[in-house]
Chains A and B, each alone.
Chain A
Amino acid sequence: MISSRHTTKIRPDEIIFRAGTGVFAVLIIGVVAAIAFELYRQSKLSIYHFGWQFWQTDSWDPVAGEFGARPFIWGTLYSSILALIISTPIALGIAIFISELAPGRLRLPLVFLTELLAAIPSIVYGVWGIFVLVPFVRQLEVNTPEWLKVLPVFKGPPLGVGMLSAAIVLSIMVIPFTSSIAREVLKAVPQAQREAAYALGATRWEAIRMALFYARTGIIGAVMLGLGRALGETMAVTMVIGNTPQIAASLYAPQYTMAAVIANEFSEAAQELYLHALVEIGLVLFIITLVINMMSRGLIWSLGRQKNPRRARRILSTPAPESA
């Protein structure tokens, strides 16, 4: 590589090239900064008018001038965590199966199918959710045994739309994300680790457990990246969660999420304060996903760095057309 130290002078065309492409590089950083700035600017009114009270109030009634965003935080966190509980074991199972167990011929088709699950647009999951999943969940709720209904999570009328439907749709959508990153993370585990385990007489599962332990930070990172996806998911959730701002423990209760309230009410928000309140919800959603993504990328990166920095970058890259 040519370094400027050894050349007597830098060629002018080099400067033009570097500046010419560098401008676009800076532009991308500028977009991220502009998003943060614009969200703040458009929500100032609400931030200064309500302060912290905004996030501690339970009632959301824009017509009456009541703006309390706590139900949305609750709905977003509750649905995402439920989705994580459902999706994590399945996603890890898929990752282990594809990277450790599946015969070579099966590997590529399975990767393709899981990627297809990620490629289906959110709105399609929403349509399917409304017309297929919600009626199914309603049947499930109608047939809840009486002794289960004593528990607060199973209380309430069987509507179909609600937290349970949202969590199921979300987990379907998160599975491919978590599993593809966990798969890449497992691929970064040196083969010698597994061979050593086998040499010591480990069973298959014990060898896999070694690999999982070796890759634990990356696995946690993969799960958190899935969480980031779930928190921001909009359309499919909006269509099945019931859009009712309330804090309820029940899986059957219709609730609301941060992304859903923006999607539903943004184009109707006529007063300025109303609009700013919605943008403030967007700003907080932006900050939460930003922090979660940064943390998870840090975890995955720290794992890959030990042996092979190139590898770490490849795992982190956006889904590029690469094979198993």
Chain B
Amino acid sequence: MKRDLLRKIVSHAIVFLCAAAVLLALIPLALVLFYVVSQGLSSLNWAFFTHMPTPVGEPGGGMANAIVGSLIVTGLGAVLAIPIGLMAGIYASEYRGSRLAAAVRFAADTLNGVPSIVVGVFAFGIAVVPFQRFSAIAGGVALGIMMLPLVTRTTEELLLLVPPSLREGALALGATRARAVFTVVVPAALPGILTGILLALARVAGETAPLLFTAFNNRYFTTDLRQPMATLTVQVYYYANSAYPDWQRQAWAGALVLVAMVLTCSVLARFATARMERMQRGA
């Protein structure tokens, strides 16, 4: 009897501890969000989006150049990664049993585990050293490499979820494999793939380490891809480490913009996935 009581007490205690673990993890989340929103909102204004950085000591100014820079560098990364990732994902799912497909899966997972700073060192070696200058292109290469495994694996996973009957129907009607894949299978999985790409973009746009010595930084506004380019994340890094309260406030504002972007993408993705699930259940 006593032993049973003890077992019950232990069981309840563990259940309690597990619930406590959830709360414990939510505390830092709440704290980070609270400080980013409260500190960020008080320093965020219209000028942050439209004005250029001011020299030290001069109040005001914004991160217009860095915001545009982030969009450009992330866009470059997407342009590089999306076609390659899509095609490789299609290969991995179409020829799923083949040795190359297994190798691609392995390579993508490996690439996904490579620390972002190491990706930065690699991009520096192939896109900065040969041209002897930091450039937006080098930053795009670094972010593209970060995105590549995400796009590849998402594409593959979602193509595998498409019911085989769809593909078989297309093939039975005499479609070639390429035709069946591009007009039937991929469109069926497209909403999911786009959601995955959206999440990959959000993740990569928040990266700092691969940009430190590829896109580097720039005090001025530029859209020249061969020039060093300021990005939101790198700018936040320098401002947060500075000793000037004005710059530190701007770092908080930048952090808020980043969090808002990530949050928006996550919520959008969540809605899209929920809709797809409803559709699948209904079908």
Chain B 232-276 interface mask (CB, 8 Å, partner A; 1/0): 010011001100000010011001001100110110011011100
Instruction: Check if A191 is an interface residue, CB within 8 A of chain B.
Output: no
Instruction: Check if B163 is an interface residue, CB within 8 A of chain A.
Output: no
Q: Is the CB of B248 within 8 A of A131?
A: yes
Q: Is the CB of B109 within 8 A of A297?
A: yes
Residues of B within 8 A of A28 (CB): 84-85, 88, 104, 107-108, 111, 148-149, 152
Residues of A within 8 A of B138 (CB): none
Query: Which of A31, A205, A262, A320 has the most C-beta atoms of chain B within 10 angstroms of its own C-beta?
Result: A320
Residues of B within 8 A of A165 (CB): none
Among B58-66, B198-206, B218-226, the stretch in contact with A: B198-206
Residues of B within 8 A of A125 (CB): 32
Among A9-17, A54-62, A145-153, the stretch in contact with B: A9-17
Given contacts A127-B251, A323-B277, contact A16 B269 (CB under 8 A): no
Residues of B within 8 A of A320 (CB): 153-154, 157-158, 196
Query: Which of A122, A228, A318 has the most C-beta atoms of chain B within 10 angstroms of its own C-beta?
Result: A318
- Name the contact of A321 in the complex, choosing from B15, B111, B273 (C-beta under 8 A): B273
Instruction: Check if A220 is an interface residue, CB within 8 A of chain B.
Output: no
Q: How far is the CA of A321 from the CA of B151 in the complex (A)?
A: 12
How many B residues touch A, CB cutoff 8 Å? 107
Q: Is the CB of B22 within 8 A of A232?
A: no
Question: Which secondary structure dominates chain A's binding surface?
Answer: helix
State the Cβ distance, A294 to closest chain B Cβ, in Å: 7
Given contacts A90-B24, A128-B255, A293-B113, 10 further A-B contacts (CB under 8 A): A23-B87, A31-B145, A35-B119, A39-B122, A121-B258, A203-B11, A205-B11, A235-B209, A267-B213, A320-B158
B contact set with A: CB distance below 8 Å: 7-8, 10-11, 14-15, 17-22, 24-26, 28-29, 31-32, 35-36, 39, 83-85, 87-88, 90-92, 94-95, 100-101, 103-105, 107-122, 124-126, 129, 145, 148-150, 152-154, 156-158, 160, 171, 176-178, 181, 192, 195-196, 199, 202-203, 206-209, 212-213, 216, 233, 236-237, 240-241, 248, 251-252, 255, 258-259, 262-263, 265-266, 269-270, 272-274, 277
26 contacts between A and B (CB under 8 A): A17-B178, A18-B95, A20-B178, A22-B91, A22-B100, A25-B91, A26-B100, A29-B104, A32-B107, A41-B125, A119-B262, A121-B208, A123-B206, A123-B208, A123-B233, A206-B7, A262-B117, A263-B117, A266-B212, A314-B157, A317-B156, A318-B112, A320-B158, A321-B192, A321-B272, A323-B274
